[in-house]
Amino acid sequence: MKIWLRLYAVLFDRPLKNGAVVQNYRIVKMLGIGSYGYSYLVSDGSPGMKVLKQLRKRPDGSSNFLREKEILRALRHPHIPKLLDDFEWGGRRFIVMEQMPGKTFEDLIFEAHKTFSEQEAFHMLRKVLDVTSYFHRKGIVHGDLRIPNILFDEKENAVSIIDFGMASYGEKFHADFEKLGHFTLFLLYSGYRPEQKKERPWYEELPLSGESSLVLKKMLQIEKPYETVDELIKDVDGLLLSLEA
């Protein structure tokens, strides 16, 4: 999917170049290509960098782009990017938001080669759930809680959630729990070294406690799934107490 998006961008809808100025925002570098837009790190002369999102020339992405703007406008949380500006320029739509501190868990695991123990992985999950609970209580489902969209700021020992491009209003919270189940598995596998070549399911490969396995199975809907974030938080809190004992 990512390869196709990049090929489409090169052939039909080229991104802005470094140094280009859009309104009063200067492009520092491109951060990535999403399903409906480009993301850039930008500077406007004021303190701190910002993130600029540009809607690509794809009509199917317009509704998602506008919905992300409205959802960000409705959220006020220190670990969710604040919407700073939105405008049209050169026939394109743009939104500007805060740049959140830290590195994505994708970069931490695959570039910095950081590993997480069972206890550390569930501690991180608990931090993410604190932020998730905020927007779930507003009836918002993120829809894309993957390792590229969750950041960890080691200095502040805090996580942030970014990229609300797939977010929507609704009650399908289990979709977020399933994504966070996979997020937690990435952390747990970060230090895993297979003892045999034959591939096995995670609950056989990973040396996890029974409580950890059950929480993950409920998140991944292998067992009866969680219905609310409060149920999940309660179980993770209990799990962490047992792991710390």
**Which residues are tagged catalytic?**
144
Q: What is the 3-state secondary structure (H, E, C) of 2-47?
A: HHHHHHHHHHHCCCCCCCCEECCEEEEEEEEECCCEEEEEEECCCC
CA distance 36 to 57: 8
Q: What is the DSSP string of 146-174?
A: -GGGEEEETTTTEEEE---TT-EESS-HH
Q: Three-class SS of residue 70? A: helix
Q: What distances in angstroms separate CA 143 from CA 94, 140, 222, one per listed residue? A: 21, 9, 19
Give, in degrees to the nearest 5, the angle at Cα 233 between 231 and 237.
Answer: 120
CA dihedral 226, 240, 161, 175 (to 10 degrees): -20
CA distance 98 to 70: 15
Give the pairing of strands 21-22 and 140-141: unpaired
* DSSP H or E segment with residue 51: strand 50-55
